[in-house]
Amino acid sequence: MVGIDGACEWLYPSGDGQQEGRNVKQDKERENRNESKQRPQAISSADRTCHDQPHVDGSAAGDYTFTRMADNTGNLDALSAPALNGDGTVAFLAFTDEYEQGIYRADGSAVTTIAEESPGGFYSSTGCGSFQLVNNPEIDDLGRVVFRGYTFDPITWDCWEAIYRSDGITTTALTDSGAGGALYSDWSNPSVSPSGIVAIRASVLATNAIGLYTITMGEPTLVLDETDSLRTFSDPDVDGSGTICFNAYDPTLGDGIYTAGSGEATMIASVSNGYFSLDVEPAVAPGGVICFNGEPVSGTEAAYTWNGTTNLIADTDGPCSQIHTPAINSSGESAFYAGLDAGGGGFYTGSDPIVDVVISLGDTLFGSPVNYLKGGRHILNESGQIAYIYELDNGKGGIALATPDAPTTVQSPLQTEGSRSLILAPPFPNPAPGDVGFRFAVTADRGTAELKIFDFSGRHVRSLLRYQAVRGERIVIWDGRDESERQHSSGHYFARLSAGGNASTTRFILVR
């Protein structure tokens, strides 16, 4: 779960974002004119959805198998650091050969276009300046991509920012700063939970008050307002229950890491309790485990996890010379890029650069030595897969996925109750202010599987899924509507999974 912190600095417009985007394109055009190599021929937008063929490689260091998700051998270039979901699918931003930015999704077998900057398309590059996609995207476990960008009304010539969500077919504005929009300035890059809860920072139109919000469906929900005692919020991250994690400034305590779920912030760490610096955006796993960078008063640079107590991942007192933004999953595993005192660097899952290595500079990947690696705070999923940017000595570059040969064992009901033929995990979030997700597994091929919703009286509300049961795990989202698309009110509900004469039921609460 992107903006991705530090992933690709020129992709983060500040001040005049449109002008900055134009400068990037002009620089790329100059680079292209000076290139001696022949660039690949551009392909049509219709072909773009399948232009990257998967490539699996096990030649790099570490106990991982590496899959090429997308690269620059087609019509894409300058790929951003990816966001990775639970299924091993990535979302990323890239330039096309026509020097327009686009947002894409890749699953290892195909690259799908989500949105592009093009005249007459979803974004307009005519009229009020050059419109562009603003940030690296995020992706939830249903493959829905969330991103921030500008849109344009060709009739009124008004232009405004919006937060969009797209499944690759339908793109929806979750909230915008145009006419009727509740939020209008100081937008942050959005983050998204596995079930699709979106977290943003924005200002209220009427008061200019800056706050942190979550969006499931409908109007954004205020989580926390800036106050005199807590302000300068960073881009928030969000866990599976809708609790947000962020950096903020307290005039007395200085910078700190906080969580908030219902209007009250809880401090995790601050410069007043042993840290010299805490000005990097933290990340939070679906299960609520937090990771962040900090500089202790000793002057070293370090990465930490927090799950009720703070634990050191790695610091520069050891073999590391620098530690970039770490990513975390619910089992407490981390992944981060680090430079080494001995030279070089790579991606690691712990403080030992030999035992904990995923891939290092100089390793052979896809037939050529690696000379550049880059990650971000949402590059690690619950299975221990790691997605990252690479560049090779042969000039090729792209996004790779490292899959551990021994998959991570994550503490979840679906993995601790493997003896049952039907496993229905607790709904998330619960209580649910909007959409509610159901993760379930069928451990045997047996008959027809159905997932249904019932109200507290036992009356059938909605059939969410019916299919021929096959072994595997799935996630289904309910939007709170019945079979007639009527929105249901607050209250207690049941979800029932059945297949082959067996059934499993779980209870949850809708809060409207």
pLDDT 10s digits, 82-102: 999 988 999 999 888 776 788
Strand partners, 482: none
Please give the DSSP secondary-structure letter assigned to residue 78.
Answer: S
Q: Evaluate if residue 330 carries a pLDDT over 90.
A: no
> What number is the average pLDDT over the span 242-252?
87
Q: Are 118 and 133 in contact (CB under 8 A)?
A: no
First-to-last CA distance in the chain? 26
With cut-offs at 50, 70 and 90, classify the pLDDT of residue 163: confident
Q: Is residue 39 part of a domain?
A: no
pLDDT of residue 276: 60
For 416, list phi and psi in degrees, rounded to 5: -100, -5
Both 382 and 426 in one domain: the answer is no
Q: Is residue 44 part of a domain?
A: no
Q: How many CB atoms lie within 10 A of CB 15?
A: 6
Grouping H, G, I as helix, E, B as strand and the rest as coil, residue 482 is coil
With cut-offs at 50, 70 and 90, classify the pLDDT of residue 275: low
Minimum mean pLDDT among 113-127, 188-202, 327-341, 357-371: which range? 113-127
Both 430 and 390 in one domain: the answer is no
pLDDT of residue 375: 92
> What number is the average pLDDT over the span 456-476?
80
Between the CA atoms of 342, 345, 349 and 353, what dihedral angle is there, to the nearest 10 degrees?
A: -20
Q: Is residue 151 part of a domain?
A: yes
Both 297 and 370 in one domain: the answer is yes
pLDDT of residue 326: 92
With cut-offs at 50, 70 and 90, classify the pLDDT of residue 227: confident
Q: What is the CATH number of the domain that holds 440?
A: 2.60.40.4070
Both 121 and 249 in one domain: the answer is yes
With cut-offs at 50, 70 and 90, classify the pLDDT of residue 120: very low
The range of the structural domain enclosing residue 291 comes to 9-34+59-404
pLDDT of residue 385: 93
Q: What is the CATH number of the domain that holds 187?
A: 2.130.10.120
Both 286 and 433 in one domain: the answer is no
Q: Evaluate if residue 236 carries a pLDDT over 60.
A: yes
Q: Is residue 165 part of a domain?
A: yes
pLDDT of residue 459: 84
- Return d(Cα 116, Cα 45) in angstroms, integer: 10
Q: Evaluate if residue 79 carries a pLDDT over 90.
A: no
Q: Is residue 102 part of a domain?
A: yes
Minimum mean pLDDT among 139-143, 317-321, 343-347, 425-429: which range? 425-429
With cut-offs at 50, 70 and 90, classify the pLDDT of residue 129: very low
Both 298 and 447 in one domain: the answer is no
The pair of structure tokens assigned to 247 is: 């950096």
Minimum mean pLDDT among 49-53, 197-201, 466-470: which range? 49-53
Both 434 and 457 in one domain: the answer is yes
Q: Among residues 384, 404, 424, which one ends one of the domains?
A: 404
Strand partners, 135: none
Q: Is residue 352 part of a domain?
A: yes
Strand partners, 117: 123
Q: Are 243 and 260 in contact (CB under 8 A)?
A: yes
The pair of structure tokens assigned to 490 is: 């607050």
Both 319 and 454 in one domain: the answer is no
With cut-offs at 50, 70 and 90, classify the pLDDT of residue 286: confident
Q: Evaluate if residue 5 carries a pLDDT over 50.
A: no
pLDDT of residue 288: 86
Both 365 and 443 in one domain: the answer is no
Grouping H, G, I as helix, E, B as strand and the rest as coil, residue 49 is helix
Both 275 and 169 in one domain: the answer is yes
Q: Vertex 242, ends 183 and 330: CA angle to 5°?
A: 135
With cut-offs at 50, 70 and 90, classify the pLDDT of residue 157: low
Tens-place pLDDT, residues 378-408: 999 988 999 999 999 999 999 999 999 865 5
pLDDT of residue 370: 95
Q: Is residue 49 part of a domain?
A: no
Q: Evaluate if residue 411 carries a pLDDT over 70.
A: no
- 401-426 burial, b at 16+ Cβ within 10 Å, e below that, comes to bbbbeeebebebebeeeeeebbbbbe
Q: Which of 23-37, 128-142, 267-281, 283-297 has the highest mean pLDDT?
A: 283-297
Q: Among residues 404, 424, 456, which one ends one of the domains?
A: 404
Please give the DSSP secondary-structure letter assigned to residue 273.
Answer: G
Tell me, yes or no, if the pTM score tops 0.85: no
With cut-offs at 50, 70 and 90, classify the pLDDT of residue 124: very low
Tell me which of 47 and 492 has the higher pLDDT.
492
Average of per-residue pLDDT values in the chain:
75
With cut-offs at 50, 70 and 90, classify the pLDDT of residue 474: confident
Both 374 and 420 in one domain: the answer is no
With cut-offs at 50, 70 and 90, classify the pLDDT of residue 298: low
β 327-328/320-323 pair status: unpaired
pLDDT of residue 417: 38
pLDDT of residue 39: 26
Q: Are 191 and 198 in contact (CB under 8 A)?
A: yes
With cut-offs at 50, 70 and 90, classify the pLDDT of residue 441: confident
With cut-offs at 50, 70 and 90, classify the pLDDT of residue 263: low
Both 206 and 167 in one domain: the answer is yes
Q: Are 277 and 295 in contact (CB under 8 A)?
A: yes
Strand partners, 77: 95
- Return d(Cα 368, Cα 149) in angstroms, integer: 36
Q: Among residues 348, 376, 404, which one ends one of the domains?
A: 404
Residue type, 73: T
Count up the domains in the chain and report the number: 2
> What number is the average pLDDT over the span 276-299?
80
Using CA atoms, how far residue 22 sits from 7, 100, 113, 270, in Å, is: 19, 10, 22, 39
The pair of structure tokens assigned to 464 is: 């969410």
Q: Is residue 330 part of a domain?
A: yes
